Chain A
Amino acid sequence: MTTPTRPSLDDPNLTIPVDHAGIFEPIPMARTERQQEFYTLRDGEMLLNLGPQHPATHGVLRIVLKINGEQVVDLDPVIGYLHRGVEKLCENADYHQAICYTDPLEYIASLFCEWSPVMAFEKLLDVEVPRRAEYIRVLAGELNRIASHALYVGFFALDLGGITPILWAYLERDEIVEMLAALTGAKLLFNYFRIGGVNGDLSHDFMSRVGDWMSRAGRQVEAGTALLNENEILVRRARGIGVLDRETALRMAVTGPNLRASGIPWDVRRAHPYSVYPELEFDIPTRREGDSLARYLLRVDEVKQSLRIIDQCLHRLPDGPVMAKLPRLVRPRPGRAFAAIEGPRGMYATYAISDGTDQPFRMRIHDPSFIHLQLLGLLTPGNLIADTMAINASLDPVMGGVDK
């Protein structure tokens, strides 16, 4: 293969052809049926590119819109701008190292991204996690869920044009995340869960901060969302937009709050319980309308349930070790394991295959945002261009998870 030389500005005959500059992405040739149907423009239709850099697309997502005037006729999301090859990197790393690759997947909810691989590896190794570690995991996880939902509320309002809620949301999130930084050492990519437990025990500082925050949290949630729940602009831009009905939700393999907002009360914590969730009392909020407003209100309800769970964890925390004893280099028996958890966006799952060596043979990470982004092409046609953003924000995709 001839390696093309890099262009040099000193070359007198220099021309910069489009390929070498590499700054243009060619319009893809319509290779598949769906693409042929998409790129056939009828009279009055045009293609609009919502490029990978856009203030409202939650990361590097490129959406090609086919519009007729202002109405969206069809939509094609193009992803892969953040594909970092995590699954391949995990195959080349140890089991403990592979956990570290998983938390930047959905960086806003990074403890959940670590949780399902850790559970899958524990199944492969037949390791039992101490109860104190399980309670700490639930506690930290629910704090992360609240932080993630706070950001969701902020981004939802930001995409619809409101600047104040994102500032308030970041205040909430920064406070929670400083508590988690006292516990784990990091603000965003926590790297806290280990195979067999968690990295470090709770400290008095952390407990007092959590207790103090819990006494204020309920009122802060109410105050934050009161600004938005009755806001006419938000309600009118979100009500009835992007309605997802029950059958479609099941057919699209949707999980998490997007599924529960369409009326199906399915939550991995109740449908397939893991960790210490069977011992905790909490409800599964469900809404029936299935529109963007329902998805938003449902996540606010979930924050309240998370506060209940944190309260119970703080009261029931048992004593004991926080990590099971494992060797540095673990070699599980050859086998396969699948573990799924409920994260703020849906079901995070890991399918791990071990071949007896110290590196995973295959580590498949299933991410909910990847599935939910398909809904964009399904729900948007018929709405206006501005509704694309409302639907995108309500589905809550995180591009790190979409692209892995």
Chain B
Amino acid sequence: MLNPQLNKNGELIHLLTLEGLPKDILLRILDIAAPFTEVAEREVKKLPLLRGKSVFNLFFENSTRTRTTFEIAAKRLSADVINLNVSTSSTAKGETLLDTVDNLVAMQADMFVVRHASSGAPYLIAQHLRNTGREDIHVVNAGDGRHAHPTQGLLDMYTIRHFKKDFTKLRVAVVGDVLHSRVARSEIAALTTLGVPEVRVIAPKTLLPTDVERMGVRVFHDMREGLRDVDVVMMLRLQNERMQGALLPSSQEYFKVWGLTPEKLALAKPDAIVMHPGPMNRGVEIDSAVADGSNAVILPQVTFGIAVRMAVMSMLAGA
């Protein structure tokens, strides 16, 4: 099966997932993101790379935050950005996903940034673009169902490299609702590709996917055991809906057992970094003292996120 993200020259034409992405392309994105971080410090925070290009933010799932960072990234590259919040009511009017895409292609879209509640939706779009001969239009997955959130995974790797330098010497723990998390899947894929020797997941059984070990991780249910001597703690958001469906009894109990407090963090290495994709649920998965503490690198993650997205868009548009 051809990797749908690469063209026949092995160049990245879509960013759909970090799983199966060759290591050298992953590293290249991180390398290219570095110079983009400097742009934020200039007076004119703009580069001409995507001038004249139209980037359509196609968000089928609401997310002001992610959409805003993509918008900032695209505008810093001088692209024209069009935001489309395709609410459920318009799909209820009968327009299929691909019909929507065709309409936007007719409006001269150059790039789609897509967020969708169903795993695999960006693949369908990328495949459709190939089938209709429009391989010049690029797709960036901004999160599909539970499957992947590749730009988040990339900015997390960038953050780790910034603070810890060498992936091959690290112990990393991913904590929380791995079962429902596209961020976790992308992080795990990237960490294993980049050669992190030990990737741990810490969660109750109800929040872990079947056969999760096959993703290359060590499973812990005990937070204290799992955090011992780790260099990086990657927290995941716990959504309120998880209390329904009999996955968890309450957020209070969750916080008691799996919430990151200073006392539990003390078991990790003293210079361990704490990461969170945001938005945080203080008092549910993370204690305020940790979120605001010196180990947390949550705000730098946001800054790096813009640079990483600029790097991705530039690489795709230049292919």
- Report if A and B associate in a common complex: no
Chain A interfacial positions (CB closer than 8 Å to B): none
- The chain B residues found within 8 Å of chain A, CB to CB, are none
